[in-house]
Amino acid sequence: MNAFQPKGNKARSRRGSVTTIGLCLAIALLEGLDLQSAGVAAPRIAKEFALSVAQMGWAFSAGAIGLLPGAALGGRLADRFGRKRVLMLSVALFGAFSLATTLVWSFESLLVARLLTGLGLGAAMPNLIALCSEAASPAQRSTAVGAMYCGMPFGAALAAAIGIISPGDEGWRHIFYVGGFGPLLMVPLLALWLPESAQFVEAKSQSTTNTEPPAGFVEALCSHGRARTTLALWISYLGTLIVLYFLMNWLPSMVLSNGLTRMQAGVAMMMFNIGGGIGAVGIANVMDRFSPRLTVLGMYVGIAAALAGLAGAGGSMSMAWGAFFCGLFLVGGQSVLYALAGQSYPTEVRGTGVGAAVAVGRLGSILGPLVAGQLFALGQSASMLVVASIPLIVVAALAALTVVGSFSPRLGAGAAVPGGRRA
């Protein structure tokens, strides 16, 4: 019987990993739907409340502002109380305030609802990354995080589909109904089926026998030689997310400004997110199988080329394909960055490290839509803004290559991570 025990343990571990990644994928899908919902609903929200382009930029950024403290706090709490508990609370929070968005009555109430929704959304992501990183074997961590993260663009594509089929000017609320009830229904499923990270449980039990106090916030990010990796992660997140969220929020308006229809704008948005879903899994899988450095270099070259193609697009077909390749490389690239963050920190501070990186990256999700909205209001063209974002991609690429150079993503069991700790 003992001869068969290791196989039984391995099978149970694999089932637990699949369950964890599957549930995290479902949450990521709902998070992607909610993040995209404001962009999809924007034209009809602006019409109902008579909002200017600049005001809609603030409405987009309100949710992003909530993401920043949510990510930092969610990651820190995950290292203290567990990934599962904090994730459940985060999901309940963004579900409740997504529903509250359907009840807004003014510009100010819209800002508050989106801000609090963003707080829950921000707290969820570090926990999703930590859970998937710790559920997978070291050689498959990028693929596991990518498989989870592909839910984000597919959820955003679902939001675009709901926007297309929702009738009339009042139809924008349907997106937020789905984005609210869906997460609330997932909370009991997480309570029943989501296992807590075994690595977290082990690290927590070891810390109880250790007389040293837990690492502080700065120590978690910078001690044991992690300062350079942390800074490079932050720069790569910031540059990539500025461009990603600019397109996520303003792509429909860009299509409309080229004289195309609302239906064609919805198709372009769906193509962007379908490409993102393919890229999230595909590029992460390439990362695990081949050279991490060449993978990162290739994905950023792809981002720059896709942005240049989108800037030169004019017709509906060229806009749709430009959006597809932007999604493929931008969203796929972001999934790789999330995987890199999960591998850059040891278990006991992984939530803190990932949460801090996500929080800094969220500055990009604030700045991208806000700056773009102000420039659009001043009469700048969409093509000019897309081209102007390419230098940011170059800076982000150099930072990401620095992170890859600091460690080997294909860690074996028990291999050292930056800082001399064990994965």
Per DSSP, what are the bridge partners of residue 422? 416
- Residue 320 CA to residue 325 CA, distance in Å, equals 9
Contact 60, 182 (CB under 8 A): no
**What is the Cα Rg of the chain in Å?**
21
Per-residue model confidence as pLDDT tens digits over 295-344: 999 999 999 999 888 888 777 888 888 889 999 999 888 888 988 888 88
Structure tokens belonging to residue 242: 């500025």
Q: Which of 215, 193, 232, 190 is nearest to 347 (CA)?
A: 215
Task: Output phi, psi for 422, to 5 deg.
Answer: -100, 145
- Residue 251 CA to residue 267 CA, distance in Å, equals 11
Per-residue model confidence as pLDDT tens digits over 15-39: 778 889 999 999 999 998 988 787 7
Per-residue model confidence as pLDDT tens digits over 349-388: 888 888 888 888 888 777 777 777 777 666 666 667 777 7
Average pLDDT of span 281-288:
87
Per-residue model confidence as pLDDT tens digits over 145-159: 888 988 888 888 788
* % residues pLDDT > 90 (the chain): 24
What confidence score (pLDDT) does residue 308 get? 87
Task: Output phi, psi for 187, to 5 deg.
Answer: -60, -50
Q: Is the pTM of this model over 0.85?
A: no
Superfamily for 15-196+216-405?
MFS general substrate transporter like domains (1.20.1250.20)
Instruction: Return the DSSP state at 104.
Output: -
